[in-house]
A and B are shown apart, each in its own frame.
Chain A
Amino acid sequence: MSSATTAAVLPDAVPARAADSWYPLRRALEAVLAPLVALGVAGVLFSVFLLCLGQSPLDFLDLVWRGAFGSWFSIQNTVQRAAPLLLTALCVALPGQLGLVIIGGEAAVVLGGLAATVAALPLVHGGPFLVLPAMAIAGIAMGAFWIGISGWLKARLNVNETIASLVLAYIGLALFNHLVEGVLRDPSSLNKPSTYGIGDGNMLDTVPWLDVHPGLPVGILACVLSWVLIYRTSFGFASRVTGGNVRAAQLQGLPVTRLILVACAIGGGCAGLAGAIEVAAEYGRANASLNAGYGYTGILIAFLARFNPLAIMPMALLLGGLTAAGGLLQRHMGLPDATILVLQGLIFVSILTSDTLYGRFRWFQPRGTA
């Protein structure tokens, strides 16, 4: 963990920029090449796995291409699966700048979705221009509150944030089920307990022209804003310093407690917003469908992206595409559903291992300094 965050912090502190004008380019190249090499290694390992099962890796590639990117339908499918992951990955990546590992985003998603629904219910007759902002605010506030608890526990009581957020995720899911199956339940939702609906007229439409999930532009915007926040503001700089060395940050007089709380709240707000969008765009009501594992896949993506918000976008597309192609693989190669999990696992391990490649090759390092 800390290796990832220090790697993200260090390059800005490189002294020899003036002497070696190509260095920033080579640094960017290193950042792109390392994960690509890792992907290649994962691909080779997975091909061996497929050959052991008596399947052709080329057929596999062909099916992944067709299922994930080969047609406009496949691309829409991929994007739809990637859209909520952009926001849930930020729930891990933003606190990650401070060296925190928050893994409870799933609860922020479902509770955010539930809060958004509850906020929408009294306003259903007010039209989408009233309902949707209320849902967004409620979802963000709820997610910020829920992940904020883990941040507060860490900052004030030094409770391990990973454990706290995981345990709070179980509590959050239980609370969600209790409310949806209890006081908030629409009695007519017989076999699938759900809340009352927000009304078809208030639902969020797909993006005009492209017909893709409305979470996509929101997710991209959130990623770009997060990148600005992290790399172009003093808040971001302070966060990265804290992530690099908490003691040093405290000695410098940085408000570590406040930084932790704010980063957790923003991250949680993103996950809560993802839940609100899922309700507004897909379900129209809160029910167990919200608990689809977006929060957990977000952890994977944030780590693959090495907590860089811009890198989250291609990684989310990659995982969204793999999930989109998963069905086609099952249907045409007779491979079990878990095959895609094997591939995801291999990619995850190789990309994390590739972290150790950074700085190993002199060609990428600054030159010309005496």
Chain B
Amino acid sequence: MPADTLLATDVSRRRLLAGGAAGLAALGLPGRRASAARPLIVGFIYVGPKDDYGYNQAHAEAAAMLKKTPGVSIVEEERVPESDDVSRTMESMIRLDGATLLFPTSFGYFDPYMLRTAAKYPNIQFRHCGGLWQKDKHPMNTGSYFGYIGMCQYLNGIAAAHATKSKKIGFVAAKPIPQVLVNINSFTLGARSVDPAITTSVIFTGEWSMPVKEAEASNSLIDQGIDVVTCHVDSPKVVMETAERRGIFACGYHANQSKLAPKGYLTGAEWNWITVYRQFIDDALNGKPIPNFTRGGLAEGFVKMSPYGPGLSDAGRKNVDSVKAEMMKGGYTVFKGPLKDNKGNTVIPAGTAYPETAIQLESLNYLVEGVNGAIA
């Protein structure tokens, strides 16, 4: 769909009026919006608080940067559950605010809520973070974007390997789903690329956001002797704070958490969503179509590493820097055969390699050798 329809909502409103029953709904639209120079109204929807030091903050920081763009107006709503509530929020943004480009950022918003709403509003553009958009299955006014953050977790693993003394590192994970498993495996493979004796202990909390369980998991990992921890939960705040209080090292995730652990923070895997949003909004303003399927890694500027903390040695910094430089060239492969899972089965035979772009990684379902933990 050409993006010029994005700006022509007055036309779509007339169409709505012509649509009989839907005309009733248009009565609720305030008249004062019918001014001449309409900005592009962009809606951001977050599953948690905007200042969670994590997943939602990473998106909200990019949205805050966009607010300064002329001709663009941003509306945001936080703590919207992954239920029919999000359909209602999207519709409310479209009907009451006049939004024409929506970013529902949480994973569970995609199917069925965003897809259903998109089918109902074919003139509105929807782009979702993390979903797997497929041309033959999903509407053309929808799409998905995501970043290869597993690469950054691999770099986290290298940093962790240089900091650990006990050769035991830890991972606090939310749910055993592919995106999380890729991170656990990448972190472990990164650490074991430095020292194959290192093992990762993982605890699944079962929830995206459950601070009490995250604190318990961190403490119990530390009690088991790990001395570097990272995580994949919506807000890494509790894990980072617990690590700092117990005097161990930590690698961040989602956003920069160095403030929470000034002594122990080694580095972190961060999203850099502004790259994606800037491109999408430029496309919309210039009347170009917004891409439906967008993926990128370190080289594309979709993800980045936090600045190094004081805990990381010079040797460690050099090691991370050199691997990162390789990754920036593109085509760096973390998952390559022969690779065994932690039950001893060969999961990738010798000679096969899955680079960051491999779609197979988006349905990964094992923990690699060197991870102590089990899926479900």
Q: Which residues of A contact B (CB under 8 A)?
A: 66-67, 70-74, 77, 80-81, 177, 181-182, 190-193, 211, 282-284, 288-290, 292-293, 324, 327-328, 330-332, 336-337
Distance of B234 from chain A, by nearest CB (Å): 14
Distance of A248 from chain B, by nearest CB (Å): 44
Cβ contacts under 8 Å, A293 to chain B: 81
Cross-chain contact B82 with A191 (CB below 8 angstroms): no
* 8 Å CB contact of B89 from A289, A290, A327: A327
Cβ contacts under 8 Å, A284 to chain B: 112
- B315 lies within 8 A of chain A by Cβ: no
Distance of A114 from chain B, by nearest CB (Å): 15
Distance of B78 from chain A, by nearest CB (Å): 5
- B97 lies within 8 A of chain A by Cβ: yes
Q: Which of A74, A211, A283, A331 has the most CB of B within 10 A?
A: A331
Cβ contacts under 8 Å, A81 to chain B: 85, 88
- B321 lies within 8 A of chain A by Cβ: no
A55 to B336, CA, bound (A): 57
A67 to B96, CA, bound (A): 8
Cβ contacts under 8 Å, B111 to chain A: 192
Distance of B133 from chain A, by nearest CB (Å): 14
A-B contact pairs, 25 of them (CB 8 A): A66-B28, A67-B96, A70-B28, A71-B28, A71-B95, A73-B92, A182-B376, A190-B177, A190-B178, A191-B177, A192-B107, A192-B177, A193-B175, A282-B83, A283-B112, A288-B82, A289-B84, A293-B81, A324-B88, A327-B77, A327-B80, A328-B96, A331-B76, A331-B93, A337-B49
- B34 lies within 8 A of chain A by Cβ: no
| Closest residue on chain B to residue A72 by CB atoms | B24
Cβ contacts under 8 Å, B107 to chain A: 191-192
Q: Which residues of B contact A (CB under 8 A)?
A: 21, 24-25, 27-30, 49, 75-85, 88-89, 91-93, 95-97, 107-108, 111-112, 130, 175, 177-179, 206, 362-363, 376
Q: Which of A66, A77, A327, A330 has the most CB of B within 10 A?
A: A327
Cross-chain contact B77 with A330 (CB below 8 angstroms): yes
Cross-chain contact B92 with A67 (CB below 8 angstroms): yes
- A283-B112, A327-B88 known; 4 other A-B pairs, CB under 8 Å? A66-B30, A71-B96, A73-B96, A181-B206
Distance of A198 from chain B, by nearest CB (Å): 13
Cross-chain contact A289 with B83 (CB below 8 angstroms): yes
Q: Which of A211, A283, A337 has the most CB of B within 10 A?
A: A337
Chain A contact surface mostly:
helix
Cβ contacts under 8 Å, A70 to chain B: 28
Cβ contacts under 8 Å, B108 to chain A: 192, 288-289
A364 to B24, CA, bound (A): 43
Cβ contacts under 8 Å, A193 to chain B: 175, 177
* 8 Å CB contact of A330 from B78, B85, B88: B78
| Closest residue on chain A to residue B108 by CB atoms | A192
A135 to B76, CA, bound (A): 37
A81 to B175, CA, bound (A): 28
Distance of A117 from chain B, by nearest CB (Å): 15
A128 to B93, CA, bound (A): 33
Cross-chain contact B177 with A80 (CB below 8 angstroms): no
A158 to B376, CA, bound (A): 37
Cβ contacts under 8 Å, A66 to chain B: 28, 30, 96
| Closest residue on chain A to residue B85 by CB atoms | A292
| Closest residue on chain B to residue A69 by CB atoms | B28
Q: Which 9 A-B residue pairs are closest in the complex by CB-CB distance?
A: A71-B28, A72-B24, A337-B79, A289-B83, A73-B25, A331-B75, A191-B177, A292-B83, A327-B77
Cross-chain contact B81 with A292 (CB below 8 angstroms): yes
A77 to B203, CA, bound (A): 39
Distance of A61 from chain B, by nearest CB (Å): 15
Cross-chain contact B177 with A177 (CB below 8 angstroms): no
Cβ contacts under 8 Å, A324 to chain B: 88, 92
Distance of B164 from chain A, by nearest CB (Å): 30
Cross-chain contact B206 with A177 (CB below 8 angstroms): yes
Distance of B157 from chain A, by nearest CB (Å): 22
A331 to B85, CA, bound (A): 15
A293 to B179, CA, bound (A): 27
A312 to B68, CA, bound (A): 46
Cross-chain contact A80 with B84 (CB below 8 angstroms): yes
Cross-chain contact B206 with A77 (CB below 8 angstroms): no
Distance of B129 from chain A, by nearest CB (Å): 12
